[in-house]
Structure 1
Amino acid sequence: MQTVLAFIIIFGSLVFFHELGHFLLAKRAGIMVREFAIGMGPKIFGMTKGETLYTIRLLPLGGYVRMAGEDMDSVELQPGYRVGIILNDDDVAERIYLNQSVTHPNIVFLEVERADLEKDLFIEGYDEEDRLVRYKISRNAILVENGIEVMIAPLDRQFNSKTVGQRAMAIFAGPLFNFILAFLVLTLLGVLRGVPTYEPVIHDVVDNGPAEMAGMQAGDLVREINGVEIDRWQELQGTVYDNPGKELSFVVERDGKLLDLTMTPTTLEDSGDQYGQIGVSYQSPVEFNPLKAIVFGATQTYNYTVLIFELLGKLVTGQFTIDALSGPVGIYKATEEVATYGIFNLMNWAALLSINLGIMNLLPLPALDGGRLLFFGIEALRGKPIDRQKEGMVHFVGIVLLMILMVVVTWNDIQRFFF
């Protein structure tokens, strides 16, 4: 149960921040957001605030922000429709009821002749006395059909009416917010756990290893190796690793005094490569400093981003196969394992997943944010948009292929962990 809860919280947070990015930049551009959804599938909770429906859906495997003007969002009033219109005191239509009986003191029934719900905002038709009448429509007018209410979206509130730059930022903001979330989590980790200094301080010494035989003790601070100054643990580790079987002269600081120690790293072999080891363990000292925690958050976010791109490069070049990929099942199992090491490791894992989600969404593949950004780039170069039907078909094919990939990856995960 603990793992399920951790998985839902982590995955839900990643999706929430991703969709929040889309939502905030869409609202900033003046785009009407019809729905902000966490999860997919049937709705289990919904609340309308302003012009947006906020929902939580059954399957915690994603989410979406539905913007006005996207897909099949537009509503048209065709000639011959019978509608009921509720007017305000200025005779402006505020609610339009389609094909149903409504009782209201200010209602007017019309058989639609012409209507424009996007640009000119009017409705024209024949009333019950067969007179041709015309009414203005409020920019916030509500359409009601079969009990379902939908606010109209004037053209200037629709996604496709915005500039290429505004649309691109609304889409790019989703992955961007995943990087921001990772930075915030890693910064908080630095505040709570402290920022590693990576000073070359020996944490423990292995019995009968080269270090112990030379007199090295836990708490020793390594200052030099073979006359070269050592400032970070990685430098110590790299020097020992690269010198198997070669005598090394150490200068260590212990209780404020400098001591000279000499030892020869043990030679070990891995896949035909030899490396050295002196038999010590490391646990970095930490520093509690809010400013350094911010730097730590930014640095770790950058390092994880580079690492993921390197792994992607290996996948593209064939050094990794599709079997190395993990889907929701693999992420769940990894979360289960990480959770056993405590909340700090779980936070670090969440940050890594957030960066991974941001990068994956930026890949220039159909149906992903990166694919949409690619089309915006082409539009900017051409000076006009690509036909929406053609673009929609490309994204549809992309969705199908991604679903097939998801099924394959999930099946691999199930075989790996349960068979």
Structure 2
Amino acid sequence: MNTVISIIIIFGALVFFHELGHLLLAKRAGILCREFAIGFGPKLFTIKKGETVYTIRLLPLGGFVRMAGEDPEMIDLKPGHRIGLIFNKNNKVSKIVVNQKSKFNNLKEIVIEDADLEHKLFIRGYENEDEPAQVYLVDDKAHYYMDGSEFQIAPHDRQFGSKSLWDRFLAIFAGPLMNFLLAFVILVIFGLLQGTPTNQIDRVIPDSRASEAGLMDGDRIVSIEGTKIEDWSTMETLIQQNANNQLAMEVERSGERVDLSVTPESRETVEGQEPIGFIGVEPAYEVSLIRSLTYGFSTTVDWTKAIVVGVGQLVTGQVALDQLSGPVGIYSYTDQAAEGGIFVLMRWAAILSINLGIFNLLPLPALDGGRLLFIGLEAVRGKPIDPQKESLVHFIGFAFLMLLMLVVTWNDIHKFFL
């Protein structure tokens, strides 16, 4: 049960902040955002605030911000259609009723002769055939009502495609960026609550390489092979990169400098990857705002680099596809993290957030990276790609991602349960 709650909280936060990035930058650019959704499928919860409908949906597999203009507008006003109009106090059309007109009062019914709801914002029509047509100005926030559904019209200047390349880039890039910022914030809070690892040893594991080399509890690592050590991360990296290699180490003990030599033992990590060095020491922690900020930034950068390298190895075939984990694998790892306590769970949440940010930046159709790629192509060509062709590419990409998800999930089932 704790794992389920942890999954809901972590994934809810990751998706929420990712989509919040899209929403904030889109609204800043003046784009009409019709819906902010967490999950897919049938709606479980709906509330409207301002122009945007906020929803929670049944399938917790992601989320989306539906921006006007990304999909073809569903408004279809053709000559000869009879519609109803409702006006605001400025005598502009505030509601366009296509059918089920009996549900509304104070309707003015007209037959359409011409209409433009994107640029000039007008409807021209007549009440009776023997009367001349009149022009009715349409409010830029008018609503369109058909088949029981109501949504706001989107003038051209409120649509995604009308904005500059830079504004569109920011609106798309803001989602992954928020995941990196979220990881940074989680790690800073982690540092403030538990403290950040310093270059001082809190505990030497008995019968380890560190114990054999003469390292003791309380020793402060000054340098390794001439490299100055100011934080635990630098020391850890040097040790991990030198499995079975003897390292000269200078430590500070009771105010005096002591020279030691230690040879990290080799430990396997993931199949197909190089083993890492391990000496068997645990860090002392210090609570400090400055150190927490530094720790949050440096750890986010280090993990981002490591994940990018892993993705590169996957693309080049150095890492097999069966090493990827999907929902089942993430559930299993989250279960292990939850058993380790809140601090282990916080670090795992930060790792997942960075993974989500990087995954979404991959230049694949249906992902943010794919959409950024199309924006880049538009910048090079000087004109946008045909929207229908772009939509087809994204649809094919989405189908491919769903197939990949099935393959990865099947691998997870074999890995963890069979």
TM-score, normalised to structure 1, is 0.89
2:270 is the alignment partner of 1:288: no
CA distance in 1, matches of 2:245, 2:134: 97
Counterpart in the other structure of 1:384: 383
1:82 matched to 2:82? The reply is: yes
Instruction: Specify the code of the residue in structure 2 equivalent to 1:184.
Output: V
Partner of 2:160: 159
CA 1:215–1:35 in structure 2 vs 1: closer, same or farther (change >3 Å)? closer
Query: 5 Å matches for 1:51-66?
Result: 51-66=51-66
Does 2:44 match 1:71? no
Shift of 1:227: 9.2
Aligned to 2:332: 333
Deviations 1:259-318 (A, max 9, x none): 67x7785987979x99998xx632212221112211111111100100001111111121
Quote the offset at 1:197 in angstroms. Answer: 1.3
Structure 2 contact 243–264 (Cα < 8 Å) conserved: no
Aligned to 2:21: 21
Residue-by-residue CA offset, 1:103-134 (whole Å, 9 max, x unaligned): 66642101111111111111111204742222
> Where does residue 150 of structure 1 map in the other structure?
151
Q: Aligned residue for 1:206?
A: 206
* Residues 240 and 362 of structure 1: CA distance in aligned 2, closer, same or farther (over 3 Å): closer
Partner of 2:41: 41
CA contact (8 A) 1:94 1:142 kept: yes
Q: Which amino acid aligns with 1:185?
A: I
User: C-alpha distance in 2, partners of 1:243/1:402?
Assistant: 38
In the other structure, the counterpart of 1:10 is 10
DSSP-derived class of the 1:197 partner: strand
1:402 and 2:401 are equivalent in the alignment: yes
SS for the counterpart of 1:95 is strand
> Percent identity at matched positions?
51
| Structure 1 residues 244 and 48: alpha-carbon distance in aligned structure 2, compared to 1, 3 A threshold | closer
Partners of 1:230 and 1:236 within 8 A in 2: no
Distance 1:403 1:91, change over 3 A: same
Tell me, what secondary structure is at the counterpart of 1:198?
A: strand
Unaligned runs of at least 5 residues, structure 1: none
Q: 1:185 to 1:114 in 2, by over 3 A?
A: same
Alpha-carbon contact 2:251-2:258 (below 8 Å) kept: yes
Range with bigger deviation, 4-13 or 389-398: 389-398
Question: Counterpart in 1 of 2:313?
Answer: 314
Aligned to 1:303: 302
| TM-score normalised by the chain length of structure 2 | 0.89
Q: Which residue in the other structure is 1:127 paired with?
A: 127
Deviations 1:176-211 (A, max 9, x none): 111111111111111111121123x2613525x676
What do residues 228-279 of structure 1 show as CA deviations (whole Å, max 9, x unaligned)? 9766666599579969697x9876554445667x7785987979x99998xx
CA distance in 2: counterparts of 1:108 and 1:230, whole angstroms: 78
Match of 1:170 in 2: 171
Q: Which amino acid aligns with 1:288?
A: V
RMSD: 3.1
Indicate how the Cα distance of structure 1 residues 94 and 178 shifts in structure 2: closer, same or farther if over 3 A, else same.
same
Kindly provide the CA deviation profile for residues 53-100 of structure 1, in whole angstroms up to 9, marking residues without a partner as x.
000000111000000111133412111211111123443111111122
